Amino acid sequence: MIINTMIVSVYERTREIGIAKAVGASQTDIIRIFLSECIIIGILGGLLGDLFGIIFSVMIDKIGKPLLVMQLDISEIEHLTAINMEILIAGFLISLVISIISGLYPAWRASKLDPVKALRQL
């Protein structure tokens, strides 16, 4: 999904990339721009994923615990779910790494655009 978004972004911003390269932006500058966007997407995705995971875990604990206690006729269960910080951090880091890897090809492709052809397009 991220790679598709970034490829479309390169296509839609071809003219802007051409202008940036025409006024002196290097290939490295263009790569940095696109990888920065991927990093932001990865950070936001990782944080939102962790947040939703915590919310759903708490909801399952609050709603599921009374139902399970009632259905199994047991006195009390401490917790159905556990929030593990190592798993939250790993999920965040995996999200970040995947978004960076997904952004490498579109960033490289954007950096290789010929400024003259990019300015003629669209």
- The predicted-structure confidence for 9-52, as pLDDT tens digits, reads as follows 888 889 999 999 999 999 999 999 999 999 999 999 999 999 99
Residues 59-84, mean pLDDT to the nearest whole number: 78
Looking up tokens 């939250």, which residue turns up? 88
Which pTM does this prediction carry? 0.80
Residue 119 has pLDDT above 90, yes or no: no
d(CA 25, CA 17): 9
What's the pLDDT at 117? 84
CA distances from 61 to 65, 89, 90 (A): 5, 21, 22
Instruction: Name the average pLDDT for the chain.
Output: 88
What's the pLDDT at 6? 86
Q: What residue type is 7 in one-letter code?
A: I
Residue 105 has pLDDT above 70, yes or no: yes
